[in-house]
Structure 1
Amino acid sequence: MGDVAASGGYYIATPADRIFAEPTTITGSIGVFGMIPYTGKMLENKLGITFDRVQT
């Protein structure tokens, strides 16, 4: 890896057995997401539970 290996650069290197980077290479993580059923209105209306969304 060169100067920067952000999500895309790191992702394309994942099939390799080893990944080599310079000590000064800036690396990033591979994005992750999950899917959760939306039951907010039911929980809010029946139980008074509300949610805040966090996104990175």
Structure 2
Amino acid sequence: MANPQDDWKIWLVINPAKYLVPIWIAVLATVVVIHVAVIGSPKYNFLAAPAKVVAAK
């Protein structure tokens, strides 16, 4: 195992200011694609589902 006191050195190699924005954009794009795929599926498309009529008692 690595020495836990040296964990901070990873930030000398990985610059969060440089990579964080592209990571967020990639995650957002993935979320949008998954949502579009699910809404496009007839089984899970709640937007085009017929409205249920509830009978008044």
Normalized against structure 2, the TM-score is what?
0.18
Structure of greater Rg: 2
Q: Counting helix residues as a fraction of each chain, which structure ranks higher?
A: 2
Q: Counting strand residues as a fraction of each chain, which structure ranks higher?
A: 1
Q: Which of structures 1 and 2 has the larger relative contact order (alpha carbons within 8 angstroms, sep 6+)?
A: 1
